[in-house]
């Protein structure tokens, strides 16, 4: 759609809505004159639906606020203009004959003070401009770029508007202290508010579009931004002056129909200026921020494809507002632009906060547990806030809550609804999320700074979890509508069930409590259970999660650990001693073997130098001298099986290098002569052992 075609479409819409304004037709109740002749939108034909059958809320939605001006308005204003000179002469004559009171001098003093303050505004504005140039360098560099520029923008607007805000505050102070009954101060404060809003908006657009120190735009973008700023500045000045004139007319109680006409003209000017800005598609897309966000890029592609339809719908809303359909415009605007802007802003804010959390709390290649918990909390908070705002804007929150609050289940004197059930589960989820957030903070931020045993850490975190979940379940049941006094009956039934069928579960639960609070085993311990050895990944009230060096997960009931013997390699510390057997020939020098084994032990990087490795001559075997190398390791750095394998490789190479023989078992078999050969199957064990031939095993 060409730009001139958009203007023609807008003009046709204006004429189509404004044309019937001065036409004849049925009058609205309580109004007379041509202004009341504009017909309202009819949703249902009168032949099908009677007027009393239409919902009042639907009627109010399509109700048009009538115009109160007509031809008589302009005739009356023209007559007032003709009589303005005699009226001014009479007013001046009245002022000359009037004796000035203290309130008059107070008004003049306030006007003089305001005049002086506004004169000094230029000097203060230059001072703040110089200080703001280097403000961005003083902000913390670890802040995100968007946050730093937003903070600078806020400080710049507030500081350069400070003189206007101070003037407004002092005027309020003088009015309340000296002349609360005066009608002069409300009008004057109204004008000051218009000046403050104009100043804030003007500075906001200046900082965003025209300030060369911020450098938001470069090249062609900078030229377009400067041209847009000039247009907006002139229009803001026009609107401020126009509203000031309307404010003066309102406070002197001039014709209400003229004031209504002026508001109509102002609305039309705002609509035309918006059409002038929005129909320039190239300018809009050039000045939109560029973000490396997939969702935002998809939004830009969608907007570019359907831009003409979107702008046409937006301008149509403006036309509806100008001609008086305020309720309909308000509803359509909230359900379109406001909801979509809210959704887009929420998504972008979530992505930014998510990246900020990941950058701040990243631990290695994987996100930390605290970052995961904060992300879950962020999702929950955004979902709750956005859903509430969404339902309020759609005006369906109260009807939906009433429908969800209808009882669906009744237990005794208690009744439950879908809303109460959802609220109960939400309460439990909030307690679970809170406990996880607290525990993640303790484990990653607080516990590393405290010199406590890991068992104490585990006891604290699990205690917080169980207490939080217990309170959450009780509060959730209460929110659902359960009478907690009824649980006394269930407690008796539960005790009866435990005595019979549930004693195994109760015993397992008690065993888990014993393991947790006594610290017999804790997360990270290296233990042996039966034929399995591994690290403990998790300890809970019902199970212990054990992971072997082969990455095999073993789930062990807590009652099995309490009732059986376990080997906790790291119960008293992180260091363990490993025994590595070595056999050498009887012809070897034992001192040389001892020296070689110690050199091998010190050669391995994971062997601790303190306590020092030792070598024992453990036994005189059948075929070898049995040595044992004893080394100390930190179990958190290397597992025992891996250490044995690596040191055995080193021992083999060292013994080969020093020509130390590793023997193998030998047997001498003697065959008696002069006896007939016997069949192998008929030989006894003793006879087989006495056969005279050497075999290797």
State the CATH number of the domain containing residue 548: 2.30.30.60
Highest mean pLDDT among 60-74, 94-108, 246-260, 550-564: 246-260
Q: Looking at 568, 586, 605, which one is the last position of a domain? A: 568
Helix (H) or strand (E) holding 538: strand 532-539
Give the confidence band of 132 by pLDDT, cuts at 50, 70, 90: low
Confirm whether 389 is domain-assigned: no
Q: How many whole angstroms from its chain centre is CA 363?
A: 19
Shared domain check, 585 and 556: no
Give the rounded percent of residues in the chain with a pLDDT score beyond 70: 72
Shared domain check, 580 and 556: no
Helix (H) or strand (E) holding 94: helix 84-96
Q: Over 60: is that where the pLDDT of 293 sits?
A: yes
Shared domain check, 309 and 259: yes
Q: How many whole angstroms from its chain centre is CA 611?
A: 51
pLDDT at 33: 41
Q: How many whole angstroms from its chain centre is CA 117?
A: 44
Cβ neighbours of residue 519 closer than 8 Å, sequence gap 6 or more: 453, 455, 456, 458, 459
Average pLDDT over residues 444-456: 70
| Structural domain containing residue 539 | 518-568
Average pLDDT over residues 243-250: 88
CA dist list (Å): 67 to 248, 321, 363: 21, 12, 65
Q: Over 60: is that where the pLDDT of 686 sits?
A: no
Q: DSSP assignment of 296-307, as one string?
A: HHHHHHHHHHTH
Q: Over 70: is that where the pLDDT of 615 sits?
A: yes
Q: Which tokens hold the place of 59?
A: 């009627």
pLDDT at 21: 36
Neighbours of 597 (CB within 10 A): 27
Does residue 134 or residue 426 have the better pLDDT?
426
CA dist list (Å): 430 to 98, 192, 444, 476: 72, 48, 21, 10
Confirm whether 434 is domain-assigned: yes
Neighbours of 480 (CB within 10 A): 21
Average pLDDT over residues 168-186: 75
Shared domain check, 251 and 136: yes
Confirm whether 410 is domain-assigned: yes
- C-alpha to C-alpha distance for 363 and 359, rounded to whole angstroms: 9
Shared domain check, 147 and 266: yes
Q: Over 70: is that where the pLDDT of 448 sits?
A: yes
- C-alpha to C-alpha distance for 534 and 640, rounded to whole angstroms: 10
Going by the DSSP 8-state scheme, the letter that residue 542 receives in this structure is S
Q: What is the dihedral of CA 592, 593, 594, 596, to 10 degrees?
A: 80
Q: Which tokens hold the place of 511?
A: 């065993």
Q: Which tokens hold the place of 220?
A: 């062609």
Q: Looking at 427, 454, 482, which one is the last position of a domain? A: 482
Shared domain check, 176 and 236: yes
Give the confidence band of 7 by pLDDT, cuts at 50, 70, 90: very low
Average predicted confidence (pLDDT) for the chain? 75
Neighbours of 7 (CB within 10 A): 14
pLDDT at 28: 37
Give the rounded percent of residues in the chain with a pLDDT score beyond 90: 2
Shared domain check, 203 and 172: yes
Confirm whether 589 is domain-assigned: yes
- C-alpha to C-alpha distance for 9 and 5, rounded to whole angstroms: 6
- C-alpha to C-alpha distance for 233 and 215, rounded to whole angstroms: 19
Shared domain check, 289 and 143: yes
Q: Over 80: is that where the pLDDT of 72 sits?
A: yes
Cβ 537 vs Cβ 546: under 8 Å: yes
- C-alpha to C-alpha distance for 228 and 235, rounded to whole angstroms: 11
Shared domain check, 522 and 471: no
Confirm whether 622 is domain-assigned: yes
Count Cβ atoms within 10 A of the Cβ of residue 410 and give its class: 0-12 exposed, 13-18 middle, 19 or more buried: exposed
CA dist list (Å): 320 to 6, 63, 217, 262, 333: 17, 11, 35, 17, 11
Instruction: Kindly report the backbone phi and psi dihedral angles of residue 263, in degrees, each rounded to the nearest multiple of 5, phi listed first.
Output: -65, -40
pLDDT at 129: 67
Cβ 36 vs Cβ 66: under 8 Å: yes
Q: Which of 129, 196, 187, 198 is nearest to 169 (CA)?
A: 196
- C-alpha to C-alpha distance for 386 and 348, rounded to whole angstroms: 13
Cβ neighbours of residue 285 closer than 8 Å, sequence gap 6 or more: 300, 304
What number of residues does the chain have?
697
Helical residues (DSSP H) of 279-325, grouped into ranges: 281-287, 294-305, 307-323
Rg (C-alpha) for the chain, rounded Å, is: 44
pLDDT at 234: 92
pLDDT of 326-368, one tens digit each?
A: 778 877 777 777 777 888 778 878 777 877 777 776 655 566 7
Count Cβ atoms within 10 A of the Cβ of residue 302 and give its class: 0-12 exposed, 13-18 middle, 19 or more buried: exposed
CA dist list (Å): 56 to 328, 602, 695: 14, 92, 110
Does residue 320 or residue 88 have the better pLDDT?
320
Count of structural domains, the chain: 4
Residue 590 half-sphere exposure toward CB, CA atoms < 13 A = 12
- C-alpha to C-alpha distance for 192 and 234, rounded to whole angstroms: 19
Shared domain check, 263 and 175: yes
Average pLDDT over residues 453-471: 78
pLDDT of 463-514, one tens digit each?
A: 888 888 888 888 888 888 777 666 666 666 666 665 666 667 777 777 777 7
pLDDT at 43: 37
Q: Which tokens hold the place of 105?
A: 């001098």
Q: DSSP assignment of 243-257, as one string?
A: HHHHHHHHHTT--HH
Q: Which tokens hold the place of 572?
A: 């008293």
Shared domain check, 237 and 172: yes
Shared domain check, 192 and 156: yes
Considering only 278-287, 308-317, 595-604, which range has the smallest mean pLDDT? 278-287
pLDDT at 412: 66
pLDDT of 384-442, one tens digit each?
A: 888 888 888 777 778 888 888 888 877 667 778 888 888 889 999 999 999 888 888 88
Q: Over 80: is that where the pLDDT of 670 sits?
A: no
pLDDT at 96: 62
Confirm whether 581 is domain-assigned: yes
Cβ 534 vs Cβ 526: under 8 Å: yes
pLDDT at 23: 33
Q: Over 50: is that where the pLDDT of 48 sits?
A: no
Q: Over 60: is that where the pLDDT of 652 sits?
A: yes
Does residue 9 or residue 190 have the better pLDDT?
190
Confirm whether 617 is domain-assigned: yes
Give the confidence band of 680 by pLDDT, cuts at 50, 70, 90: low
Considering only 26-30, 329-333, 428-432, 620-624, which range has the smallest mean pLDDT? 26-30
Q: Over 70: is that where the pLDDT of 696 sits?
A: no
Q: Which tokens hold the place of 426?
A: 């939400």
Q: Which tokens hold the place of 55?
A: 């919902």
Confirm whether 494 is domain-assigned: no
- C-alpha to C-alpha distance for 620 and 626, rounded to whole angstroms: 6
CATH number at residue 581: 3.30.70.100
Q: Looking at 482, 510, 539, which one is the last position of a domain? A: 482
Q: Over 80: is that where the pLDDT of 58 sits?
A: no
Q: Over 70: is that where the pLDDT of 186 sits?
A: yes
């Amino acid at each position: 759609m060409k730009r001139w075609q958009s203007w023609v479409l807008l003009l046709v819409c204006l004429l189509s809505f404004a044309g019937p304004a001065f036409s004849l037709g049925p009058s609205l109740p309580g109004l007379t004159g041509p202004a009341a002749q504009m017909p309202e939108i009819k949703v249902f034909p009168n032949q099908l639906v009677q007027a009393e059958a239409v919902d009042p809320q639907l009627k109010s939605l399509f109700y048009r606020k009538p115009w109160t001006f007509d031809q008589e308005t302009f005739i009356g204003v023209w007559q007032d203009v003709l009589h303005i000179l005699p009226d001014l002469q009479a007013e001046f004559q009245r002022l000359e004959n009037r004796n000035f009171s203290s309130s008059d001098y107070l008004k003049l003093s306030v006007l003089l003070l305001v005049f002086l303050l506004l004169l000094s505004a230029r000097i203060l504005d230059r001072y703040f401009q110089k200080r703001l140039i280097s403000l961005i360098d003083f902000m913390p560099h670890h802040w995100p770029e968007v946050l730093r520029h937003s903070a600078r923008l806020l400080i710049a607007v507030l500081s350069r508007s400070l003189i206007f805000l101070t003037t407004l505050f002092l005027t309020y102070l003088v009015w309340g202290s000296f002349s609360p009954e005066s009608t002069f101060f409300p009008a004057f404060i109204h004008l000051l508010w218009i000046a403050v809003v104009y100043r804030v908006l003007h500075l906001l657009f200046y900082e965003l579009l025209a300030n060369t120190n911020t450098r938001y735009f470069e090249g062609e973008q900078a030229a377009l931004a400067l041209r847009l700023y000039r247009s907006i500045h002139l229009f803001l000045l026009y609107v401020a002056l126009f509203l000031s004139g309307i404010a003066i007319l309102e406070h002197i109680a001039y014709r209400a129909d003229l004031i209504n006409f002026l508001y109509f003209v102002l609305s039309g000017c705002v609509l035309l200026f918006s059409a002038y800005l929005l129909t320039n598609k190239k300018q809009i897309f050039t000045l939109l921020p560029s973000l490396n966000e997939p969702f935002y890029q998809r939004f830009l592609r969608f907007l570019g494809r359907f831009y003409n339809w979107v702008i046409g719908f937006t301008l149509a809303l403006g036309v509806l507002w100008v001609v008086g359909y305020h309720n309909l415009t308000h509803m359509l605007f909230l359900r379109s632009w406001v909801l979509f802007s809210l959704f887009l802003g929420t998504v972008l804010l979530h992505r930014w906060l998510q990246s900020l959390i990941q950058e701040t709390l990243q631990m290695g290649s994987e996100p930390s547990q605290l970052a995961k918990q904060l992300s879950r909390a962020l999702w929950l908070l955004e979902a709750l806030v956005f859903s509430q705002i969404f339902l309020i804007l759609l005006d369906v929150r109260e009807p939906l809550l009433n429908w969800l609050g209808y009882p669906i289940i009744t237990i005794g004197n208690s009744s439950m609804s879908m809303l109460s059930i959802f609220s109960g589960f939400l309460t439990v989820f909030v307690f679970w999320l809170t406990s996880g957030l607290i525990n993640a903070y303790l484990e990653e931020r607080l516990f590393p700074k405290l010199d406590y045993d890991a068992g104490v850490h585990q006891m604290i975190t699990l205690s917080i979890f169980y207490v939080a979940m217990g309170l959450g379940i009780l509060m959730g049941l209460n929110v659902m509508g359960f009478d907690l006094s009824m649980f006394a009956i269930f407690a008796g039934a539960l005790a009866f069930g435990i005595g019979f069928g549930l004693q195994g579960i109760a015993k397992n639960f008690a065993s888990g409590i014993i393991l947790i609070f006594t610290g017999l085993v804790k997360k990270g311990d290296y233990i042996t259970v039966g034929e399995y050895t591994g690290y403990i990944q998790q300890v809970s009230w019902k199970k212990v999660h054990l992971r072997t060096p082969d990455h095999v997960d073993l789930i062990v009931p807590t009652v099995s650990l309490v009732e059986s013997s376990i080997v906790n390699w790291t119960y008293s510390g992180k260091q363990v001693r490993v025994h590595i057997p070595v056999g050498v020939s009887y012809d070897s020098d034992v001192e040389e073997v001892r020296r070689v084994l110690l050199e091998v032990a010190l050669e391995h990087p994971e062997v601790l130098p303190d306590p020092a490795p030792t070598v024992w001559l453990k036994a005189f075997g059948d075929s070898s001298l049995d040595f044992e190398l004893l080394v100390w390791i930190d179990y958190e750095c290397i597992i025992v099986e891996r250490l044995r394998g690596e040191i055995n490789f080193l021992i083999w190479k060292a013994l080969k290098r020093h020509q130390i023989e590793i023997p193998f078992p030998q047997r001498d078999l003697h065959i008696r002569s002069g006896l007939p050969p016997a069949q192998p199957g008929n030989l006894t064990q003793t006879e087989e052992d006495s056969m005279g031939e050497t075999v290797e095993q």
